[in-house]
C-alpha cells in the first residue's frame, strides 16, 4: 500500500516545483507512443472475438430473441450440448448477413450527415506536438455538431416535421446495422494499414515489424484524407453521436411496443448518457489530447472499436430494456439517475480543472489555492535528424488531481455502473452489466498504460509526482 497522501501534504503544502541539474535523467529518443493490444491477453482476445461478440449482443437484444429466454433455453443448451449451442449461435450471427436495405440506408445516412457537419464553423485548436514536429490541428465544433445532429435526428423523424423515419429506427435496424458496421470496420482498417505504410499523412507512422500488430494497433497516428481527420471522425463524430442518440431511440421504441408505458430505468439511463455525451462534445478538445489520440494509432483496436464495438456494447444496457423493461419505479430510477448526474458533473469538473491549469500555464487557483505542481523537464530526439529538444510539462498535484492520478476515471465508472444498474440486473440478469464491467477493466488498464508512458517520458519527475499523489484511481484505496 502506498504512503498515505497526508504525509505528502505536510511536505508540500503549496505550490512547489521540482528542478534538476539538467535533463540528463530525462527520457531521450522516444516519441512516447507505444502499445499494442497483443501485450494484454484479455483485451487481445476481446479484439479477436469482437466482430462475433458484437453480432451476438445485437441478437440477444433483438425482437427475434424475445421468444427465446437466454437463461432458460439457450444457456442450458450451451452447457449440455456445445455443438448445438455453437450451431444455434452461428445461425443467429449469420442472420444479420447480408445487411438489409434499411440498415444500409440508415448507416449511409448517419455517416453522411456526420460528414456534412464537419463543415460547421469553429475555432482552430491544436493537440500535443509529436516527436516528428507534427502538431495536429482541429476545428473545435464538437458541441455545435452535437446540437445540430440532435435537432436533425429529431426533426427528420415521425416526432418532427420531416416524418422520414420512425424515431425508434436505431433499434429497428440495429442487428443488421452491426453486421454492416463489422464489414465496413474491417475494410476501413485494412485501408488504414495500407495507407500508413504507403502514403501516411505525417511522419508518425510506419510498420511495427509485425503484420498482425500493424493491423491491430495501426500504422499511423494521425491519418487524414486531405483536411478530413479520419481518427476524430470515427472516434467522436460517428461513435459518440450514435451512442448518444441510440438510448433515446430505444426509449421511444420501448414506449411504443409496451402500449405507452414508460420504462423509467431505460428512459433515465438514456437521458443521463445523452447528457454525458453532451459533456463529451463540450470537452472534445480535451479528448483529442488523451491517450486514445496521442498514443494509440488508428488501427483495428481503436477504429473498428469505435465503429462497431462502441455501438454494440456501450448501448447494451438501454437496448436490453426494450424487450425486457427494467421494472424500476420512478423513485428507484431517480435515485440512480441522480448518482449518474453527479458523476458526470464531477467527471467534467475534473477534466476542466486540468484544462484550465494547462491553458494558464499553472497561473490559476485550484480549489481556491495556488496549485501544487511539478515542472517536469524531458528531452526528445528526432529519429530522422538526431536533433535533441528540451521540453517541459506541468504535472498538477492539486484539486481533483491531488486526490488520485486518474480520479476522473472513478467518476466515469460511477456513471457507467449507474446506467447499467438502471437496467435492473436483479430482474434482467448480468448481461446489461457487460458495459460497466468492460469499462472497469479498460480504465484500470488505461491507468496502468498511462503510468508507464509517463514514467518513460518524465522519469524522476513522474516518480516525484507519484510520491505526492500515490493513488491511481480511488483515493485512499488504490
- Residue 296 has what pLDDT? 84
Note whether 84 and 233 are same-domain residues: no
Return the pLDDT at 93: 64
Residue 465: predicted pLDDT: 85
- Domain for residue 331, yes or no? no
DSSP summary character for residue 204: S
CA distance 339 to 420: 12
Q: Are residues 86 and 146 in the same domain?
A: no
Domain identity same for 434 and 447: yes
Query: Do 73 and 104 lie in a common domain?
Result: no
Number of domains in the chain: 3
pLDDT score at 43: 64
Domain check: are 89 and 107 in the same one?
A: no
Residue 87's domain comprises 69-95
Q: Looking at residue 404, what is its pLDDT?
A: 92
Q: Which residues of the chain have pLDDT under 70?
A: 1-44, 64-97, 380-386
**Is 398 inside any structural domain?**
yes
Concatenated DSSP letters for 340-409? HHHHHHHHHHHHHHHHHHHHTTT-S-BTTBPPPEEEEEEEEE-TTT--EEEEEEEEE-STHHHH-TTHHH
Q: What is the pLDDT of residues 401-455, one digit of tens each?
A: 889 999 999 999 999 999 999 999 999 889 999 999 999 988 998 888 888 878 8
Q: In sequence order, what are the residues at sequence separation of 6 or more whose Cβ sits closer than 8 angstroms to the Cβ of residue 223?
A: 192, 195, 196, 200, 201, 230, 231, 298
Model confidence over 59-104: pLDDT tens digits? 888 876 654 555 445 556 566 666 666 666 666 666 666 788 999 9
For the chain, what percentages of helix, strand and coil (3-state, to nearest 5) are there? 60, 10, 30
187 and 289 co-located in one domain: yes
295 and 441, same domain (yes or no): no
Q: Are residue 258 and residue 157 in the same domain, yes or no?
A: yes
C-alpha cell at 394: 506541468
Q: What is the pLDDT of residue 32?
A: 42
3-state secondary structure of 227: coil
Same domain membership, residue 363 and residue 381: yes
What pLDDT sits at residue 29?
Answer: 34
Amino acid at each position: 500500500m502506498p504512503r498515505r497522501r497526508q504525509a505528502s501534504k505536510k511536505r508540500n503544502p503549496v505550490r512547489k516545483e521540482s528542478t534538476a541539474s539538467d535533463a540528463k535523467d530525462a527520457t531521450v529518443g522516444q516519441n512516447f507512443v507505444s502499445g499494442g493490444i497483443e501485450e494484454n491477453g484479455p483485451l487481445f482476445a476481446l479484439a479477436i472475438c469482437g466482430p462475433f461478440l458484437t453480432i451476438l449482443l445485437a441478437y440477444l437484444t433483438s425482437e427475434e430473441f424475445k421468444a427465446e429466454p437466454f437463461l432458460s433455453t439457450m444457456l442450458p443448451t450451451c452447457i449440455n450440448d456445445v455443438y448445438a449451442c455453437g450451431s444455434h449461435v452461428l445461425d443467429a450471427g449469420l442472420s444479420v448477413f447480408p445487411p438489409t436495405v434499411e440498415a444500409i440506408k440508415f448507416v449511409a445516412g448517419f455517416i453522411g450527415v456526420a460528414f456534412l457537419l464537419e463543415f460547421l464553423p469553429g475555432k482552430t485548436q491544436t493537440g500535443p506536438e509529436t516527436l516528428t514536429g507534427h502538431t495536429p490541428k482541429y476545428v473545435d465544433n464538437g458541441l455545435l455538431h452535437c446540437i445540430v445532429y440532435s435537432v436533425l435526428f429529431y426533426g427528420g423523424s415521425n416526432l418532427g416535421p420531416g416524418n422520414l423515419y420512425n424515431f425508434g429506427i436505431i433499434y429497428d435496424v440495429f442487428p443488421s446495422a452491426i453486421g454492416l458496421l463489422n464489414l465496413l470496420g474491417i475494410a476501413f482498417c485494412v485501408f488504414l494499414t495500407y495507407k500508413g505504410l504507403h502514403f501516411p499523412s505525417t511522419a508518425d507512422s510506419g510498420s511495427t515489424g509485425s503484420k498482425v500488430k500493424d493491423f491491430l494497433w495501426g500504422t499511423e497516428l494521425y491519418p487524414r484524407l486531405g483536411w478530413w481527420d479520419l481518427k476524430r471522425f470515427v472516434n467522436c463524430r460517428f461513435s459518440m453521436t450514435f451512442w448518444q442518440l441510440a438510448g433515446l431511440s430505444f426509449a421511444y421504441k420501448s414506449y411504443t411496443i409496451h402500449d405507452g408505458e414508460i420504462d423509467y430505468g431505460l428512459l433515465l439511463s438514456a437521458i443521463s448518457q445523452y447528457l454525458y455525451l453532451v459533456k463529451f462534445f463540450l470537452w472534445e478538445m480535451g479528448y483529442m489530447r488523451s491517450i486514445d489520440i496521442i498514443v494509440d494509432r488508428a488501427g483495428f483496436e481503436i477504429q473498428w472499436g469505435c465503429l462497431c464495438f462502441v455501438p454494440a456494447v456501450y448501448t447494451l444496457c438501454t437496448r436490453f430494456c426494450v424487450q425486457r423493461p427494467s421494472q424500476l419505479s420512478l423513485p428507484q430510477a431517480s435515485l440512480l439517475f441522480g448518482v449518474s448526474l453527479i458523476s458526470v458533473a464531477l467527471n467534467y469538473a475534473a477534466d476542466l480543472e486540468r484544462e484550465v491549469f494547462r491553458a494558464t500555464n499553472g497561473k490559476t487557483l485550484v480549489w481556491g489555492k495556488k496549485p501544487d505542481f511539478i515542472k517536469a523537464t524531458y528531452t526528445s530526439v528526432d529519429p530522422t535528424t538526431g536533433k535533441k529538444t528540451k521540453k517541459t510539462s506541468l504535472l498538477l498535484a492539486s484539486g481533483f488531481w491531488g486526490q488520485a492520478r486518474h480520479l476522473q476515471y472513478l467518476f466515469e465508472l460511477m456513471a457507467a455502473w449507474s446506467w447499467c444498474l438502471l437496467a435492473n440486473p436483479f430482474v434482467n440478469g448480468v448481461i446489461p452489466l457487460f458495459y460497466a464491467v468492460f469499462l472497469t477493466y479498460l480504465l484500470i488498464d488505461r491507468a496502468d498504460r498511462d503510468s508507464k508512458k509517463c514514467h518513460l517520458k518524465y522519469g524522476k519527475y513522474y516518480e516525484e509526482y507519484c510520491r505526492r499523489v500515490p493513488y491511481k484511481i480511488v483515493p485512499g484505496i488504490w
